[in-house]
């Protein structure tokens, strides 16, 4: 599945925060990192844990939100 990971700089927290908008039942932001790369790694780990947890508990995974096709060839 292709889920969205949003990474934003938080001036207040002085770190990058990670949001997983497809998982509406999870507190957001769900993790962070001192660098963009660390935030991405942490976000991917949280995403994997959420998917594994849903599957283990027999819950339905949320449908990934899909943005429109932004790359159109003229």
- pLDDT tens-digit readout, 25-51: 999 999 999 999 999 999 999 999 999
Domains held by the chain: number: 1
CA 50 to chain centre: 10
Check whether 13 has a pLDDT greater than 80. yes
Reply yes or no: is the peptide bond before residue 67 cis, omega within 30 of 0. no
Q: Is it the case that residue 74 has pLDDT exceeding 60? A: no
CA dihedral 40, 26, 48, 15 (to 10 degrees): 20
Q: Is residue 56 within a helix (H) or strand (E), and if so which, with residue range?
A: helix 36-56
Look up the CATH number of the domain holding residue 59: 3.30.160
| Contact between 1 and 22 (Cβ < 8 Å) | no
What is the pLDDT averaged over residues 64-68? Answer: 79
pLDDT band at 71 (very low <50, low <70, confident <90, very high): low
**Residue-number span of the structural domain to which 42 is assigned:** 1-74
């Amino acid at each position: 599945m292709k889920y969205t990971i949003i990474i934003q700089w938080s001036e207040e927290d002085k770190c990058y925060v990670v949001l997983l908008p497809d998982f509406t039942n999870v507190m957001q932001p769900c993790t962070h990192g001192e660098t963009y790369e660390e935030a991405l790694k942490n976000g991917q780990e949280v995403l994997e844990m959420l998917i594994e947890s849903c599957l283990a508990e027999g819950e339905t995974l949320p449908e990934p939100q899909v943005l429109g096709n932004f790359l159109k060839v003229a």
